[in-house]
Structure 1
Amino acid sequence: MKKSLIALAVLAASGAAMAQSSVTLFGVVDTAFGYVDNANAAGDSVYGLSTSGNATSRLGFRGVEDLGGGLKAGFWLEGEIFGDNGNAAGFNFQRRSTVSLAGGFGEVRLGRDYTPGYTKFISYDVFGQVGIGQFMGWSNWNGNNQTTANNNNDANGIRSSNLISYFTPNFSGFTAGLGYGFDEKADKTNSKKGRYVGGYVAYDNGPLSVALSYDESSALTLGSGATAVNGADRNRLTLGGSYNLNVVKLNAILQQTKDDVPGGSERKVNAYMLGASAPVGAGEVKAQYALYDQKFIDSKAHQISLGYVHNLSKRTALYGTVAYLKNKDASNLGLNAKNLSTGGPGAGENQTGVQLGIRHSF
């Protein structure tokens, strides 16, 4: 009888502990038909299936455990899905791989994650930083040759491995985040190579949202081969915001990316974006304009993007996006059509792209 009571007590305690924990499987599958003209300097056009035109396709697991006293432990593992080829190159958790502690003090994360200087600005891009319509301020300017395989932050500055970050609680609409990415001595000859530091401050109140961020990456390698430049330090300052008028939501981003080259001239890119989105029936219309002023080559590029998303349900949507990129002078930017784009159209050449797809989330 006593053994039965003890077993019941243990089972009840176990059930209580399990009730304080949760694990969620989640994901998005987004596949589209895409077309890009002038996909390379030869003037070729490409078409076929592409991925992540409206939202990044992903598969992930996240969990949280209530430790009591307002303290919670969590984990987040997330990897990208390529629906057009079934992840021919394999699956990993390079989108996010973190463990965290959260409470009244805020949240501390350890692992691979978005850089704090980037994470807040996804919402200011009308196209959510995906597909051919997206704002391309976070690009591999100047040929940053850093790779995650060498424990460095990503070439475009969007994510960093070996990152410790802290996010504050919400103080009457004010929030902030700060992160430090360890270089882990990836390059024995340069103790700072691949190091990242950055953060943001933001204010959200009703229809208004505004944020300011600063990022710095140390000792980058720009370009490759005989013309490679070593030891460049990159800093990026970004201001963004949005205002929801209910009938239309207005967004804007102003950004400066600057590479300080040892013994050389400063390489600077100023990028600007204005966007608007409006609900229409069961869907949403999007329009966005971006200017990329590439000071280091004295050239500019203009991008105009239009899109429509039609919601079939809360989890499924059809979408279409068309984008036009006008390069001037030495500019050779290309639209971002994942698994379809083949690069820039050539210096001073223009490019047009279309994506028609379906997105399902679970």
Structure 2
Amino acid sequence: MATASLAAQAQSSVTLYGLIDIAPAMVSRTNTADDRQFRLNSDTGSSSRFGVRGTEDLGGGLAAFFNLESPLDAKNGSVAGGAASGACNVAAACASATTPAFWRRNAYVGLRGGFGEVTFGRNYTAAVIKQAATVSATPSGINTGMATNLAAQGISNDFWNSNQIRYDSPKFGPIDFSAHVALGEGVTGRNVGGNVGYNDGPLAISLSYQRDENLAGDAVKWMILSGSYNFGSFKVHVAFDDVNNDERVVGFRDSKFWTVGASFKATPLLTVAAQYWNLKDSASSNSSKQVVLNADYLLSRRTALFAMLGHVNNKDIAVLPLWNSGVTVANDKVYGLAAGVRHSF
């Protein structure tokens, strides 16, 4: 009877969801030759993915939930991609920990209640994902701009971490915070990080910090401070970051960037944006610069047309002109143009 009563009280739901971002594109040169390349580019603005998530109401304000999420390359149907985790990546001889993983985007379970929520498993790190809304001005997604610059610094290793315990607080007025620890278990790099956010009306501020340690005990530390202000149809974004890699952890670059960008809602359906990035290599003091222009037009709640132009003037650090364009050329100017469709389900 007790078991039947508990089953009757529990309310559960499971949802299949996803997103596809794909666009015909052109880049001004390849990695090996000064020749234009025409391609079908995936993930230009947002990362294509599919997943399943569910929740169960346990009563008394407590709920259990889970998320399994896989990457998707819509142009060829593959799900390949290493499950990088902090200072452990393929280049750092952690290939056994970063081989392609089907659920490499998310694979966790958690509990949610008045205390906030806690998750166990592979998950977004609090330090990166909490920055997306304040760092990036582009409405089509964070990939070209935010992700291209973070990848050049090595912080792309920290979008997700394996073996992770993460806590997200409830709101305390305009303030909330998150913290996570990734347990290396002698297989992947260990790390700890977190974020504090302030969101009050039009003003939002976000501060993140993370410390990654590789299998040899060498550490890299990085921070991001960002903010945005919404004037209504016009929104401004500014951000600064600093990667301290004095111990020369493979996969990270001792560097810092600053960025400023803005978006303008021209109509209820059309948003245009521009953002400038300045990424400085600490060893050489040279700066790689990127300009991103973006237009996003909503056809419906789930479908949009977008155009993205990325131009890089690279020095020692090679920044991609468009995310996933395959063109990483240091000490050269490269641009990429894409126009495509983003559909969520």
Class of the TM-score when normalised by the shorter of the 2 chains = 0.7 to 0.9
Within the candidate set 42, 53, 67, 1:51 is matched to: 42
- Specify whether residues 129 and 291 from structure 1 end up closer, same or farther in structure 2 by C-alpha distance, changes over 3 A only: farther
- Specify whether residues 131 and 165 from structure 1 end up closer, same or farther in structure 2 by C-alpha distance, changes over 3 A only: closer
Q: Report deviation, 1:259.
A: 0.5
Q: Report deviation, 1:41.
A: 4.4
Give the conservation status (yes or no) of the 8 Å contact 1:133–1:321: no
The match for 1:93 is 103
Structure number with larger C-alpha Rg = 1
Task: Map 1:99-138 to 2 at 5 A.
Answer: 99-124=109-134, 125-127=136-138, 130-134=142-146, 136-138=148-150
The match for 2:225 is 239
Within the candidate set 237, 252, 260, 1:251 is matched to: 237
SS at match of 1:118: helix
Give the conservation status (yes or no) of the 8 Å contact 2:147–2:156: no
The match for 1:354 is 337
The match for 1:177 is 178
User: For residues 156-189 of structure 1, what are the alpha-carbon distances to aligned partners after superposition, in whole Å with 9 as ceiling and x for unaligned?
Assistant: 3211000001111101011000000011112xxx
- Specify whether residues 320 and 182 from structure 1 end up closer, same or farther in structure 2 by C-alpha distance, changes over 3 A only: same
Whether 1:290 and 2:281 are equivalent positions in the alignment is no
The match for 1:32 is 23
TM-score, structure 1 as length reference? 0.82
Q: Once superposed, what is the RMSD of the aligned Cα atoms?
A: 2.6
The match for 1:307 is 294
CA distance in 2, matches of 1:236, 1:44: 36
Q: In the alignment, residue 53 of structure 2 is paired with which amino acid?
A: R
Give the conservation status (yes or no) of the 8 Å contact 1:208–1:241: yes
Q: In the alignment, residue 137 of structure 2 is paired with which amino acid?
A: V
CA distance in 1, matches of 2:21, 2:281: 32
The match for 2:93 is none
CA distance in 2, matches of 1:280, 1:267: 38
TM-score, structure 2 as length reference? 0.86
Give the conservation status (yes or no) of the 8 Å contact 1:261–1:267: no
Q: Report deviation, 1:45.
A: 2.7
Q: Report deviation, 1:260.
A: 2.2
Give the conservation status (yes or no) of the 8 Å contact 1:36–1:353: yes
Within the candidate set 273, 279, 285, 2:265 is matched to: 279
User: For residues 315-350 of structure 1, what are the alpha-carbon distances to aligned partners after superposition, in whole Å with 9 as ceiling and x for unaligned?
Assistant: 11100010110123x343332432x32322xx3211
Give the conservation status (yes or no) of the 8 Å contact 2:70–2:102: yes
The match for 1:66 is 57
Q: Report deviation, 1:268.
A: 2.6
Within the candidate set 217, 239, 246, 1:260 is matched to: 246
Aligned length in residues: 321
Could you tell me which runs of 5 or more consecutive residues in structure 2 were left unpaired when the two chains were aligned: 81-99
User: For residues 276-319 of structure 1, what are the alpha-carbon distances to aligned partners after superposition, in whole Å with 9 as ceiling and x for unaligned?
Assistant: 11112221101100000111232111111111011111111100
CA distance in 1, matches of 2:129, 2:79: 28
CA distance in 2, matches of 1:168, 1:277: 29
- Specify whether residues 294 and 111 from structure 1 end up closer, same or farther in structure 2 by C-alpha distance, changes over 3 A only: same
CA distance in 1, matches of 2:142, 2:276: 15
Of 41-50 and 103-112, the range deviating more from structure 2: 41-50
User: For residues 38-78 of structure 1, what are the alpha-carbon distances to aligned partners after superposition, in whole Å with 9 as ceiling and x for unaligned?
Assistant: 33143233221111223221111111111111111000111
